[in-house]
Amino acid sequence: MRLKKLLLINFKNILQSEIYLTDGINCFVGDNGAGKTNILDAVHYLSMSKSAFTMTDGQSVSHGEEFFVTEGSYVDDQQRVELVNCSFSKRGGKIIKRNGKEYDRIADHVGNFPVVMVSPRDTDLITDAAEERRRYLNSFISQLDKGYLQSMMRYNAVLAERNVFLKRSSDETMLQIYDMQLDEHGTHVYQERKRIVECMQPLVNEYYSFLSEDREQVEMTYRSELDDMPLKDILLRSRERDLVNQFTTSGVHRDDLIFKIGGYPLKKYGSQGQQKSFLIALKLAQYRLLAEQTGEKPILLLDDLFDKLDMRRVERLLGIVSGDDFGQICITDCNKVRLENTLKNAGKEYQLFTVEGGEVKR
């Protein structure tokens, strides 16, 4: 998948901009606060129908405006031309169109234009609670498997209903119905998460050792109560506890991803450099799986390329992503000279854009 042209109107601090991209590496350079990350986020919006950072769509509308528009002209890996338009207005909500036709459900769009973002915020995956890691898995697997997103949405809807129900009743028949539904959708979610994490593990290790030149092994494992018994048995066993607590205490909404280095928790024992290399290895593994399973090379977004990485690691990273396994790339950095010097050695064609106060120039 390659983005040929990006059109932005009232998107955060970018009031109006038309950007013609190259199939190789697109570099956005400028000072802090210029709008570089916002451009990458707009590309993320077009693929995922939401921001990688802000919680609500309204936060992406330029201050004082009523709506934003992002539009991308793409060419996919079979050379088909595709137009995606994602607009949001405070009155009318969000609309996503593919080649002029609005989707029935926004969820149908996710996965058609695969994207992977690497950003300084990824450290949240290591430092934050399990919810952040589940959110990551959900968003990633949604791009791979539309059935997954459906199952996840249904699971969450039943879970919310069951939790409301537990606050006012202990009726066995109703609880049985809820549990049957949770079992159906939750088991699918579990199986997909397990399958994907197992596929990723060797790739994460491979990229990690190449990037970091580190002899330590890294591990990424998926932990779920469903490893030990089927969800319907878990729910039955915890029913009494659920009734006392008045919410559902077990299920795939409690799963987690475990990251380790040399056999120890990455959060406690990994240095900042090791953690950063791990996160990049994770995202590159995600990229490879998406490319293999969707048949479409995702667009790779590298926000703040030099964040917590020394020159040697940046060079190794650029070496990897300049290879045949990877496609179009967008990079941001605040230091033009440093970035250009590094790119000259990478051997992939690149184009520089300057970003200043929400304006983008070539």
Ligand X SMILES: Nc1ncnc2c1ncn2[C@@H]1O[C@H](COP(=O)(O)OP(=O)(O)O)[C@@H](O)[C@H]1O
User: Which CB, 121 or 154, lies closer to Mg ion?
Assistant: 121
Q: Looking at 55-63, 81-89, 108-116, 229-237, which segment touches ligand X (CB under 6 A)?
A: 55-63
Comparing CA positions, the residue from 191, 195, 1 lying closest to residue 82 is 1
Comparing CA positions, the residue from 68, 72, 96 lying closest to residue 83 is 72
Strand, helix or coil at 251?
coil
User: Which CB, 50 or 316, lies closer to ligand X?
Assistant: 50
Comparing CA positions, the residue from 120, 127, 122, 125 lying closest to residue 334 is 120
Q: Does 51 bind Mg ion (CB under 5 A)?
A: no
CB of 44 to ligand X, least distance (A): 12
Give the x-and-dash track for 323-342 against Mg ion (CB under 5 A).
--------------------
Q: Who's near 20: CB < 8 A, 6+ residues apart?
A: 4, 5, 362
Euclidean distance between CA atoms 325 and 333, whole angstroms: 23
Q: Which two tokens stand for residue 174?
A: 């109703």
Euclidean distance between CA atoms 150 and 307, whole angstroms: 36
Q: Does 37 bind Mg ion (CB under 5 A)?
A: yes
| DSSP letter string, 97-133 | EETTEE-SSGGGTTTSS-EEEE-GGGGHHHHS-HHHH
Q: Which of the listed partners (ligand X, Mg ion, none) does 30 bind, with a CB threshold of 5 to 8 Å by partner kind?
A: ligand X
Give the x-and-dash track for 339-358 against ligand X (CB under 6 A).
----------------x---
User: Which CB, 237 or 361, lies closer to Mg ion?
Assistant: 361
Comparing CA positions, the residue from 183, 82, 140 lying closest to residue 290 is 140
Euclidean distance between CA atoms 75 and 20, whole angstroms: 13
Please say whether the beta carbons of 331 and 65 come within 8 A.
no
CB atoms within 10 A of CB 132: 15
Pairing outcome for strands 67-75 and 93-98: unpaired
Q: Which of the listed partners (Mg ion, ligand X, none) does 314 bind, with a CB threshold of 5 to 8 Å by partner kind?
A: none
Give the x-and-dash track for 13-52 against ligand X (CB under 6 A).
x----------------x-xxxxxxx--------------
Q: Looking at 57-65, 70-78, 132-140, 285-293, which segment touches ligand X (CB under 6 A)?
A: 57-65
Q: Which two tokens stand for residue 112?
A: 């058609």
Q: Looking at 54-62, 196-204, 220-228, 265-273, which segment touches ligand X (CB under 6 A)?
A: 54-62
Q: Which of the listed partners (ligand X, Mg ion, none) does 34 bind, with a CB threshold of 5 to 8 Å by partner kind?
A: ligand X
CB closest to Mg ion, residue no = 37
Q: Which of the listed partners (ligand X, Mg ion, none) does 175 bind, with a CB threshold of 5 to 8 Å by partner kind?
A: none
Of residues 261-320, those binding ligand X (CB under 6 A):
none
Q: Which residues bind Mg ion (CB under 5 A)?
A: 37
Contacting positions for ligand X (CB under 6 A): 12-13, 30, 32-38, 59-63, 355
